[in-house]
Amino acid sequence: MYDGMPHAPLPSPTPARRRRRPRAAAAALTAAVALLAGCGPADGDGKPEARPAAGFPVTVDNCGVRTTYDRPPSRVVTIHQHPAELLLSLGLADRMVGTAFPDSAVLPELAEEYAAVPELAPREPSFETVLEADPDLVYGGYASAFDEKQGRSRKAFADAGINTHLNREYCGGKRVTMRDTYDEIRTIGTVFGVPDRAGKLVADLEDRVEGAVTAVRGEPEVSVFVYDSGDKTAFTAGGRSLGTELIRLAGGRNVFADLDDVFGDVSWEQVVARAPEVIAIYDYADDGAGSVERKKKFLLSQPALADVPAIRDKRFVVLPLTATLVGIRSAHAVEDLARGLHPESFR
């Protein structure tokens, strides 16, 4: 199972550092979240202990770590951009004391609030840097947020009295779907004591996805190759990735859906043999200006790919990396993909 950032070295890289209606499914929380409410017993002097916040304690089973919250977190550090955007979309900017590792342009409606959150590091911050922000919760987007070799294991944070939460996409062991996106949002809404906001956000995202699915319903399936990066081999999205689900919902088929991983390397010969009609390029803001154009130029310059339909017809769809992950962007990605695969359906 791939457990780090999902891209291999780019060809000729230039790194840059920068900073409607709810459905029945929306009513159910994932079984991993248990809500327990009550007040504490009396202490030795007969005085009652401090009551938990209303609706708390909340216990969450997350990627094998069980955490009980007596009250909503009030000082949060997010590592990676998609957890930060999720918190901002739930109206939790006032709880955020630091973030790190932006990898795409921030959604315009969130840009001002995002810029006000201190950036602790252009990539994953050190354990000591996170501690300096004095968080009560660290919310990581990729497994690398809690890299044991870098001293940032979840146990290390727990030993320091700090709770942790890892985006469920990197819990491993199963294929990721849009349901994971919705469940992640609901779980975070519950942890922060804003379940109504989470339910509304999920309903809005479901409506956005449904609109795109309806627009392309009945259209012929389009074969898609995801090009993340790579030159000697192609680093692509496999069958366990959310990207495969996004392509399906948009009226397409990931030609490497049989790759049993979130991401993995394939040969260019395999790409040629599978003859994709469209290439979806993942865009990383931290790869520097012009990275998408460099990727296109690389693909178009390879003689071995000349007869691939997507190359011959120059059919590319560009997706920010953040839009392909479990977070608020994935619903936007379905619409963008649908427009790229079936433009005639949106005229």
Question: What CATH number did the domain enclosing 69 receive?
Answer: 3.40.50.1980
The pTM for the full model equals 0.82
DSSP 194-257: -HHHHHHHHHHHHHHHHHHHHHHTTSPPEEEEEE-B-SSSEEEE-TTSHHHHHHHHTTEEETTT
pLDDT at 54 over 60: yes
End residue of a domain, out of 148, 183, 205: 205
pLDDT at 17 over 80: no
In a domain, 15, yes or no: no
In a domain, 211, yes or no: no
Q: How many structural domains compose the chain?
A: 2
Range with the poorest average pLDDT among 128-142, 287-301, 305-319 = 287-301
Whether residue 181 is found in the same domain as residue 221 = no
Beta strands in the chain (DSSP E): 33-35, 58-62, 65-69, 76-79, 96-100, 119-121, 137-140, 163-166, 222-227, 234-237, 252-254, 263-266, 278-283, 316-320
In a domain, 275, yes or no: yes
Beta strands in 284-345 (DSSP E): 316-320
> pLDDT category, 70, cuts 50, 70, 90?
very high
Whether residue 239 is found in the same domain as residue 183 = no
Whether residue 201 is found in the same domain as residue 224 = no
Whether residue 175 is found in the same domain as residue 250 = no
In a domain, 104, yes or no: yes
Whether residue 152 is found in the same domain as residue 226 = no
End residue of a domain, out of 138, 173, 205: 205
Whether residue 182 is found in the same domain as residue 265 = no
d(CA 60, CA 186): 12
Whether residue 193 is found in the same domain as residue 235 = no
pLDDT at position 287? 58
Q: What is the dihedral of CA 68, 197, 169, 135, to 10 degrees?
A: -50
pLDDT at position 284? 81
pLDDT at 11 over 50: no
In a domain, 43, yes or no: no
Locate 131 and state its tokens.
């501690």
Whether residue 65 is found in the same domain as residue 192 = yes
Average pLDDT over residues 12-22: 33
Whether residue 201 is found in the same domain as residue 234 = no
Contact 230, 265 (CB under 8 A): yes
Most confident of 51-55, 119-123, 173-177: 119-123
> pLDDT category, 51, cuts 50, 70, 90?
low
Whether residue 171 is found in the same domain as residue 308 = no
Whether residue 222 is found in the same domain as residue 249 = yes
Whether residue 184 is found in the same domain as residue 282 = no
In a domain, 13, yes or no: no
User: How high is the mean pLDDT of the chain?
Assistant: 86
pLDDT at position 55? 85
In a domain, 45, yes or no: no
Domain of residue 136, residue span: 24-38+51-205
pLDDT at position 154? 97
In a domain, 116, yes or no: yes
End residue of a domain, out of 143, 171, 205: 205
d(CA 131, CA 59): 24
Q: What percent of the chain has pLDDT over 90?
A: 76
Q: What percent of the chain has pLDDT over 70?
A: 83
